[in-house]
Every structure is written in C-alpha cells, then in structure tokens.
A = this chain, B = another copy of it.
Amino acid sequence: MKSEKAVQVIIGGEAGQGLATVGRLLSLILVRLGYRIVVTQSYMSRIRGGHNTFAIRVSPGEIAAPVEPIDVLVALTPETVDLHRGDLTEDGLIVGDASFVEKRKGCAAVPFGEIAREQHVNTAAVGLLCSVLGIGLDMAEALVDETFKKKNEQVIEENLAALRGGYEWAEQREEIHRPLPAPRRREKRLMMSGNEAIALGALSAGVRLCAFYPMTPSTSIPLTLISAAGEAGVVVEQAEDEIAAINMAIGASYAGAPAMVATSGGGFALMIEGVSLAAMTETPVVVVVAQRPGPATGLPTRTEQADLEMVLYAGHGEFPRAIFAPGDVEECFYLARQAFETAEHYQGPVFVLTDQFLADSARAVKPFPVEELEQVRPGADPDSVKTPYRRYEITGDGISPRLLPGASDHLVVAGSDEHTEDGHLTEDLGARLRLADKRLRKGLGLSRETIAPSYAGDAEPEVLLVCWGSVKGAALEAAGRLRDSGTAAAVLHFSQVWPLDPGRFLDRLRGPARVIAVEGNATGQLARLIHRESGFEIPERIHRYDGLPITPGYILRSMEG
C-alpha cells in the first residue's frame, strides 16, 4: 500500500456532547464525496462526561490504518485541547469555541454562540469543517435534509442555517483552511463499520436468528440486524444471559435457522460450554467475539487482540473449528458470510474474531454485491438420505447428512452425550471412537480449505510484518512507509487464524532478515501458534495492550527500539 496524502480530523469532547453525531455526519459527507476514510472511535465506559474522541482519517486514495497525528482537532471541551495538543501536526489546526480556544495562528476560535443556537452547535461545526476541508456545502446540506426529513420543516431549516453559519464563518478565514485534495473519482461508496459489515454479511448469508446479551463492543452487530429485522425476516433476541444466547442459537440452527451470537470476552467465556455442545451435536453456529482488553471487565470500551487462544481452545473435549479474523471492513463482510458457509458445511462452531477498533471503525467501502451472493441453505434434502436415517452417519470426510426436524418423516436426534450414528446416547466405547474420529476428520477438510494468509509487499523483503485481524491496515501502511524510506518490506496477514497450514506461509517466513509479529496483545498469541504449527519462531515481537489500536507509527517506533 502506497502512503497516501491523508488528513486526520479528530473531534473530541465529553460523552453526551454529540461528538459521534458530528463525526458520523462528516464521515458520511466525505464518503459520499468519494473520499476514503478510517474512523477510530475512542470512548470511555460511561454515558456522559469523561473524554471521547472520534477520529476521521480521510484521503482521496486508499488508506486502511489509524494514525496518531492530528491535522484538525475539533475540541468540544477545553480538555480536548489539553489532551491532544501534543499530537497536532506542524500545520495542525485547533477548532473550538472562542470561550476556551485562543485567537492565534493554528487556532479557530469559533463564536459558536453567535453562529447557532445551542442545540445546533454540532451542525454548525460540521458546516465549519466543510469549509476548513474545502469540500463545499452541498453534500452537507443534502444530508441534513435527509437526516431530519422525518422531523418537521423547521428542524431542517434551523439545522441548515447552523450549517451555513459555520461554513460561512470559516469561509472568510483562509488561515484555517486545510483543503483536502480532490477525490480520485466519484465511485459509489458506503460508510460502514466492521460490525455493520459483519451484520450485513450475516444477512446476506441468510442469518435467521441472532441471540445476544448486550456487551460492548459487540452490541452494534445485533443492533444493525435489528434495524433490518423487519424487512430481512430475522429474529434478533436479547437473551437473559450469554448462556441462553448460544443455546438459543444452537437450538434455532438445529431446527433450520442459520444462527449466530455476538459477544465479547467475558460473555464468550459463558458460552464456552455451548461451543462444545455445538461441536458434539454438530450444529452450525457462528460466534462473533469482539475483543476488548481483559482480564475480567478490564477496559470495556477499548481494543485488544488477546482472546485468540481462549477462542481456539474454547470447549471441553476435542473438535475441529475455524476462526476467522477480518482485517478490514470488507473482510468483515465476506468472512461473516464465509463463517456461515463453513458452519453449515462442517456442522459446528465457527468463529469471527474482531475487536473494538475494527468493530467501530467506519470505512468507505464499495457496495457489496448482495444481490448476487448466494445464501446458505441449511440441511440436506430429506429424499437424499438412506433409511433409516442416521444423523451422524460415519462418512469419509466426517460430514453426515444433516436433516431438519419436522421437514420429513425422518426423525432427527441430536445428542450431547456420546451417541450412536442415529444420535441416541451410547456408552459403547467402540462407537465413541468411531464418532470421535468422524468429528475430528472434519478438521482435515477445514485445514485443506483454510484461507492462506495474504501477502503484500516486496517479493524479497528485508522486513516482514506478521499480523492478524484488525492490525492489517497498520501493518500495510507501516510496510509502505518502510518501502518509501528504502527498506524492502512486506506484510503477512492472517484473516483466518485457525486452522493454520504452514505449507502456505512457511516459505514467506524464512527469507526476510527481520520477521516481526505485530499483535494487539502482550504475549504474542499468533506468534506462539505459528511456532507450534510450523516450528518457526518469529524472532521479533511488537505488542500493544494499552487499549488503543496499533498504528503504523507504533509499529515503526517499536521497530526502532
């Protein structure tokens, strides 16, 4: 990935001040205008007060990473200035109310009180930013119109006035203009976060039931599904607890509804017995785990990649599984779909591991071809099975014909105890071995079909960055910057972290002078797994576990020492 001219706008303020509203509105304007964005949301575990930021990195070309330097800092409170002044670029601009922002070079001390009424200050700020970024006001006006069209004319008018007020105030002040380069071409893009893409991917795969118990940062997945529930025909049920959620999903899936759960570490811990049940009963279920820093409640609104091992070994007993770890919003969509397909085909639990950063990170994505993509079709054709029907018939690849209860005269018996091929519980130890082997054989197919890590960069790099999940963008950009400064560099990114097939990546690891694992955790969970599976011990490690996403700058600084 080539380094792109990009600008970062950060809006900071207290929870409840509406900074996310400003951020989302501005982001959408930018996306509609054809820009690429990377949004990073940093928020505290509280509803009002504290200090949150909504960072929009924007560029005419492709970008994929969050960064620290700030070009435009929009401060809704004085605290924002204190906290983030240090991250301003040389030419950086502080935008804030005249009551706390000085009138000096690099500052826009805005008399918001004069420009707009209190409840419209945020809209005025958007207008102002349109001017600062040099993107005109048309798109903003159109959006305000759409946004408030359900309300009355007056609301629209007031907001439009505020928008224009902010815009005009800034237009007159050239010293605060930080115009964006024109967008490349105006191809249709959507603004979508990782979690929204997971939800959309699930819908396109045909999800019919999502059971959840609210937990940051996973909740926006069911919420997105709920917003589509009526038209998409999905049941999204808030369960009494996470245990209920996964058992509900498994029950639904058994009965023919492609089903999922979404949770975070602590909630997932409660689902682990259910994971084992899905494996034993061979019931497809998609489990999305949106990681946040632990242990225990930890930092509930921050990001981390420390639950790979827990997910990999979740469940008592031994059984195969697949774990996807999307690196960007597109992968969220496609891997959510893939998860449903894999779960249905292999009849068991399949995981999507994401994290708070990616979950909340909006990007400009091409519309997904949802009209062309196939859905998952649960169960086999009742006419295709042998009579008497045996739910767990021993087969070469371990995959038995799955029928749905009630759909035919064949009775479908699914068992949590060890069972015979017909599903009834048994204590015959020979049957045990046959069934266990059958289940484990599915792992061979899963291994064969595993997604090889993607490789990007120089063919013979000096530096190879190895990463998984949401670190992808930062790694790609770090490698790009290394290349810009004359170091051959590449990235090996795992979007499926289990099963691993060393045959497909070991060669990549062996050449480079520096191979560096970059992970959002303290212990290097993927690196350890690669070591075990391939024998290759990645010599250098970059870790981050302070709750913030890994950035290109973090990688480059860590590489230096």
Contact = CB atoms under 8 A, between A and B. Distances in A.
A193 interface: no
A294 B318 contact: yes
A345 interface: no
A47 interface: no
Contacts of A523: 318, 440
Contacts of A301: 427
Contacts of A437: 522
A6 interface: no
A266 B306 CA distance: 23
Interface in A273-310: 273, 275-277, 279-281, 293-302, 304, 306-307, 309-310
A272 B265 CA distance: 10
A313 B315 contact: no
A24 interface: no
A12 to B, nearest CB: 15
Given A317-B294, A318-B522, A545 B433 contact: yes
Interface stretch (A462-470, A528-536, A550-558): A528-536
B297 A280 contact: yes
Contacts of A439: 295
A316 B312 contact: no
A300 B418 CA distance: 9
A427 B297 CA distance: 12
Contacts of A255: none
A1 interface: no
Copies in the complex: 2
Interface string A425-440: 0010110110011011
Given A440-B522, A523-B318, A546-B433, A298 B273 contact: no
Given A318-B295, A417-B296, A535-B535, A276 B266 contact: yes
B417 A297 contact: yes
A276 B299 contact: no
A417 B299 contact: yes
A333 B213 CA distance: 41
A302 B427 CA distance: 9
A494 B193 CA distance: 47
A338 to B, nearest CB: 23
B306 A294 contact: no
A106 to B, nearest CB: 27
Contact of A548 (B50, B429, B521, B545): B429
Given A317-B265, A532-B531, A50 B427 contact: yes
A243 interface: yes
B427 A44 contact: yes
A117 to B, nearest CB: 32
Contact of A315 (B44, B269, B548): B269
Interface in A401-441: 416-418, 427, 429-430, 432-433, 436-437, 439-440
A139 interface: no
A281 B294 contact: no
A319 interface: yes
Contacts of A432: 293, 299, 545-547
A415 to B, nearest CB: 8
A238 interface: no
A313 B316 contact: no
B269 A318 contact: no
Nearest to A429: B546
A244 to B, nearest CB: 13
Interface in A28-48: 44-45
Nearest to A294: B317
Contact of A416 (B276, B297, B532): B297
A316 B266 contact: yes
25 contacts: A44-B427, A269-B272, A269-B276, A269-B316, A273-B296, A279-B296, A280-B294, A281-B296, A293-B436, A294-B316, A295-B315, A295-B317, A295-B319, A295-B439, A296-B416, A297-B418, A298-B316, A299-B417, A302-B427, A312-B313, A318-B522, A318-B523, A436-B545, A531-B535, A535-B537
Given A280-B294, A310-B314, 9 more contacts: A265-B316, A269-B273, A293-B432, A299-B432, A302-B427, A318-B521, A318-B523, A430-B546, A440-B522
